[in-house]
Structure 1
């Protein structure tokens, strides 16, 4: 099992698919990383068949050119915290755990709001 960017990649997957297990790397970035390896890594190679040199090459490419895992998570949470601290509309929505991007909240948004809590009875 190859360890790239602090993540153990699944050994039976192709390298272009296995790179997607790293937070911040999707299909496109995975293909770009392999392309930047200058032909030293074939996209159809299985992770178990990677050499140490190839794994080190992937590590150096990811460290130099991409924000992944902890660094990316810190940046995103820092951005959200900045919105909250400045008191912007988006920050207030984050603070209240409501949808941030203008979605309706009267009927939908159960994912953000959580389980329904009945406020009062509707009997007269």
Structure 2
């Protein structure tokens, strides 16, 4: 089972879908990466050799955007900064309420449930 940017690639799944499991890479970006690395649209994780896996990982790391743990860290730092500045969005994050103006009277059940189960 190959690892690319800290994410395991299952051997039985289609490679394009497996690469899209990497945090920060969507389906269209994974199609582009697999095509550049020389994999077909029906390639599976079992077709990835060590050399081809390294080539795919190098192509993914050459993208200008952060991926994987770097992207998670960047997003969490942004949220922590908003909370530290006590902005409106930061307070909504702290309280576990919807951040982007959604209503809370009838919707936002998932966000509210996560708030109460986190404590």
TM-score bracket relative to the smaller structure: 0.7 to 0.9
Q: Distance between the aligned counterparts of 2:89 and 2:22, measured in 1?
A: 28
Match of 2:89 in 1: 90
| Structure 1, unpaired ranges of 5+ | 118-124
Larger Rg: 1
What secondary structure does 2:89 align onto? helix
Residues 48-88 of structure 1 deviation map (CA, whole Å, 9 limit, x = unaligned)? 01222110011111222142221111011011111111221
Which residue pairs with 2:18 in the alignment? 18
**CA offsets 1:30-59 (integer angstroms, 9 cap, x no match):** 01212333xx22232111012221100111
Aligned residue in 2 for 1:62: 60
Q: Give the deviation of 1:97 after TM superposition.
A: 1.0
Give unmatched runs, 5+ long, in structure 2. none
TM-score by length of 2: 0.85
Cα RMSD for the two superposed structures: 1.8
Count of residue correspondences? 114
CA separation in 1, counterparts of 2:35 and 2:84? Answer: 40
SS of the equivalent of 1:23 reads coil
Q: Distance in 1 between matches of 2:84 and 2:35?
A: 40
Output the CA distance in 1 between the equivalents of 2:78 and 2:32: 26
Provide the C-alpha distance between the structure 2 equivalents of 1:94 and 1:6, rounded to a whole number of angstroms. 28
Structure 1 outlier segments of 4+, above 6 Å: none
**Partner-residue secondary structure (3-state), 1:104:** coil
Question: Structure 1 length normalisation: TM-score?
Answer: 0.82
